[in-house]
Amino acid sequence: MAKAEVEVITSERRRRHWSRADKERIVAAALQPGATILGVARAFGVHSSQVFRWRQQLCGKETPSPGFAAVTIAADPHVATARTQGLIEVEIGAETKIRISGSADPAIVTALIAALRAGSR
């Protein structure tokens, strides 16, 4: 049989008071790689919504990532061959580049757009 820990509150104050240090310790545990809010909340005996609130108070509100990114059109030295063969090139950030050469099949272009939309969410 598992032992359960019970906290008895004998004072008139019915709510537990968490010090700022305790809140910071719990939020820091929740920010560790691989940690989940629910797991941390259970480990410290607090409701998960309280951990979310403390994280918001201590770390600030999360700003949503922008839906659109800046686009730069650069001259390509292979433009002459690309015009005759067909070329679609999409760059996302500095590391991701998608290039479709040859005749652009509408199904491939549609799949590319769907993948980009799914990845931006």
Averaged pLDDT, 75-97: 64
Token pair recorded at residue 80: 């002459």
Amino acid at 48: S
pLDDT at residue 43, rounded to an integer: 92
Q: Where are the domains of the chain?
A: 20-59, 79-119
Of the listed ranges 21-30, 73-82, 106-115, the one predicted with least confidence: 73-82
pLDDT at residue 27, rounded to an integer: 92
Q: How do residues 34-85 score in pLDDT, each as one tens digit?
A: 999 999 999 999 999 999 999 888 888 766 666 776 777 777 666 555 455 6
DSSP lists the bridge partners of residue 98 as: 90
Give the pTM. 0.42
pLDDT at residue 82, rounded to an integer: 45
pLDDT at residue 85, rounded to an integer: 64
Of all residues in the chain, what percent carry a pLDDT higher than 70? 70
DSSP tally for the chain: helices H, then strands E: 5, 2
Averaged confidence pLDDT in the chain: 77
Q: Cα(59)–Cα(68) distance, rounded to whole angstroms?
A: 25
pLDDT at residue 110, rounded to an integer: 78
Closest CA to 101 of 74, 73, 76: 76
